[in-house]
Every structure is written in C-alpha cells, then in structure tokens.
Amino acid sequence: MTGKFITIEGSEGVGKSSNIAFIEDYLRAAGKQVLLTREPGGTVLGEAIRTLLLDADNRSMCSDTELLLMFAARAQHLDEVIRPALEAGKWVICDRFTDATYAYQGGGRGIAESRIAILEQWVQNDLQPDLTLLLDMPVAAGLERASKRSTPDRFEQEKLVFFERVREAYLARAKKYAARFRVINAEPALVQVEAQIRNILDTMLESELQLES
C-alpha cells in the first residue's frame, strides 16, 4: 500500500468536523490526493447500517448487536473504499475507525477488549492507521457544545459517565499505541487546535519527502 491512512477520533462535541475540513484542505494544498470518509458509514450499505445504529428509537439494541453492526459496516468500508484508495496511493482521512469501537463499545458499553480484538483481526488483518489524531477535551465541555446541535442520536442520549469512560478508553489507547496516536488539546480556539494539527501533518509530510528522496 502506498497511500496514508489517517483517522480522527474523539468524544462528542470535540470539533471533529471543522478540524477534518482543515486537514482535508491542508493535505490537498500539499498536493495529496485525499479521500474523506467516515464510520460507521462510507458506503451505501454502511450508511444504512449507520442509520440503524444512530436511530434513537432502536432502544432495544443490545451491545453485541451494536458491536457486530460496527464491524459489518467496517468490513464493507474496507473492501469497497479504504483498501482500494490506499492501493491507489490516496491519503484516506477517516472520521472515526476501530479506536472508536474500543472507546464506545469497549469503554462505554463494557465489552471486553479481547472480544473486540477478535473482530478487529478478522476484518482488518494487519491494517492499522498510519496516524490517529485524538481530539481531547473534558467531557462536560464537549457535551455542552454537542447539545447545541440537532436532536440527540442513540449515542448522544447517553449520560456523562458513559462519555467519561469513552474518553478514558481513548486516552488509554493513545498511551498504549503512542507511535501512531497524537493527542490534540481540543479545548482552545479553533486556530490553536489547527496549529497543533498543522505541526503533526508537517512532520508526516516531511518524513514522506525524505523517504521519496
């Protein structure tokens, strides 16, 4: 594979959308072919699965169903979109990926990490992101921002403690997989968050240039 796989993670209200738009523009300006996609979703089937997962009326969905649907959408996404794009040399920016499963279904819902790892291996084999940007801020502040948006979906209806567990699980993964994770302080004004991201992307672009020369 010749492209790069960048994933963006974080709990609710951390400003993923604005920062993803910034990353996309920055990489395009650096001459990269960029493919922007998201999880759950990114394909016709995956988006249908996303609708099921986010529908607040699906109150009876059990944690294992939620976990398996996440990976069903991911299998399709990898097969139809992510792997072909990476093979074509594109820079794939994915709004959430498997770290979100460890954070939400693992940390949030309490599913054992070892069970998630089985599905991860099944669906991804050895594919891992080259870079994961974790946008991090205190949960209450994020939820406050998120609450200003539209009607809460099935996840957004969860309580503060759920998102505290999500954040803890994300931070634990960032520590465990320090080589690919970068934790961004998402609390300050957007320009300051962008400056942190720009530094990280510049380092990645420079190391690419060194490899090419």
Which residues bind to ligand TMP, rule: CB under 6 A?
A: 38-40, 70, 96, 100-101, 104-105, 155
User: Minimum distance between the CB of residue 158 and ligand TMP, rounded to whole angstroms?
Assistant: 8
Q: In whole angstroms, give the CA distance from residue 157 to residue 38.
A: 21
CB-count exposure of residue 206 (10 Å: 0-12, 13-18, 19+): exposed
Count of residues for the chain? 213
User: Minimum distance between the CB of residue 180 and ligand TMP, rounded to whole angstroms?
Assistant: 17
With respect to ligand TMP, which residue has the nearer C-beta, 89 or 138?
A: 138
Q: Which two tokens stand for residue 143?
A: 């939820």
User: Minimum distance between the CB of residue 146 and ligand TMP, rounded to whole angstroms?
Assistant: 9
CB-count exposure of residue 168 (10 Å: 0-12, 13-18, 19+): middle
Q: Which two tokens stand for residue 26?
A: 């920055």
With respect to ligand TMP, which residue has the nearer C-beta, 30 or 145?
A: 145
The whole-angstrom distance between residue 6's C-alpha and the CA centroid of its chain comes to 9
With respect to ligand TMP, which residue has the nearer C-beta, 76 or 105?
A: 105
Q: In whole angstroms, give the CA distance from residue 41 to residue 102.
A: 17
User: Minimum distance between the CB of residue 28 and ligand TMP, rounded to whole angstroms?
Assistant: 22
User: Minimum distance between the CB of residue 202 and ligand TMP, rounded to whole angstroms?
Assistant: 26
DSSP secondary-structure letter at 135?
A: E
Q: In whole angstroms, give the CA distance from residue 27 to residue 32.
A: 6
162: amino acid identity, one letter: F
With respect to ligand TMP, which residue has the nearer C-beta, 57 or 212?
A: 57
Give the residues across from 34 on adjacent strands: 91
- Cβ 7 vs Cβ 185: under 8 Å: no
With respect to ligand TMP, which residue has the nearer C-beta, 3 or 13?
A: 13
With respect to ligand TMP, which residue has the nearer C-beta, 32 or 94?
A: 94
User: Minimum distance between the CB of residue 211 and ligand TMP, rounded to whole angstroms?
Assistant: 30
